Structure 1
Amino acid sequence: MSEQALSAIKLDAQRLADVVTLSAPQRYAHFLRQVAETGEVWGLYRDGWALAKTDDGSLVFAMWPASQFADLCAEFEWDGYEPLSFPLDDLVQDLLPQLEEDGVLPGIFYTPGERGLTPTIYMLRVDLERALRP
């Protein structure tokens, strides 16, 4: 492997570590920026989407801005799950209304050591609309 390729891998690993160690609100802001830019959202999937629970027992649909971040969380109860993307439009048009109907919260950017933020469906929709404005 070339020195340039090794350097790129180290940079990617460092960038990944830098983002994962951000606070939950900073990861939320990163999520909004990245999904607005790429137009895709990532979840973990294995015979169904990965769900978590809040301390009060509410179900949470976990989401990430890129496959690498989702893959970091494919352990413990999500062992064997694989990152799978879906279009941002599907999140806004289909998934968020379905989550709201089912009483499931969005869980934004979990990490191996920390839960993500769980905004209301309304808050996530408003924040995504803001992030998508030119």
Structure 2
Amino acid sequence: MSEQTLSAIKLGAQQLADVVTLPAQQRYLRFVEQVAQTNEVWGLYRDGWALAKTDDGTLVFAMWPASEFADLCAEYEWDGYEPHAFPLDDLMSDLLPQLEEDGVLPGIFYTPGDRGLTPTPTMLRVDLEREMDKH
């Protein structure tokens, strides 16, 4: 990875604030772009992955494009959870099919003040494949 890529990924406080205040749809697009570039996805982990629920009670697997964003959400019910990366390949080949089978939605780019988007696993796979084809 080039220096420029690394510095773009390491986020300062102002950049963090700028991104977490974006509307959920823009954070979703940023997630897809960044994950396709870095080939890694971040979740929160402590004796199991951090899960949330939609208003109707559907389970959601929370994920982020960088550890800094996941770390911001390691509070309240996720207190004590740590950011943990996994390869994009694992998301595409293992996790998304498993989520689909279990009826769990991907929770894209939660922030302390907003739940983020919950696309279907298929929708997320299509968006990621489309983005990966650009690179």
TM-score (norm 2): 0.90
> CA shift at 1:68, angstroms?
0.2
Corresponding residue pairs, total: 124
- Give, in angstroms, the shift of residue 115 of structure 1: 0.3
- Return 5+ residue gaps in structure 1 as ranges: 1-10
1:41 match: 41
Where in structure 1 do 4 or more consecutive aligned residues deviate above 3 Å?
none
User: Does 1:111 pair with 2:111?
Assistant: yes
Instruction: Give 2:62's aligned residue.
Output: 62
1:79 to 2:79 alignment? yes
Identity rate of aligned residues, in percent? 81
Q: Cα RMSD (Å) of the superposition?
A: 0.8
How far, CA to CA, are the matches of 2:19 and 2:133 in structure 1?
23
Cα distance in 2 for partners of 1:76, 1:97 equals 29
CA distance in 2: counterparts of 1:17 and 1:130, whole angstroms? 28
- What are the superposed Cα offsets for residues 45-86 of structure 1, whole Å, 9 maximum, x if unpaired? 000000000000000000000000000000000000000000
Q: How far apart are the structure 1 equivalents of 2:110 and 2:102?
A: 21
Per the alignment, residue 99 of structure 1 pairs with: 99
**Structure 2 counterpart of 1:65, which letter?**
P
Deviation, 1:116, is 1.0
Letter in 1 for 2:127: D
Q: Which residue of 2 aligns with 1:133?
A: 133
Distance 2:42 2:102 in 1: 20
Q: TM-score, normalised by structure 1?
A: 0.91
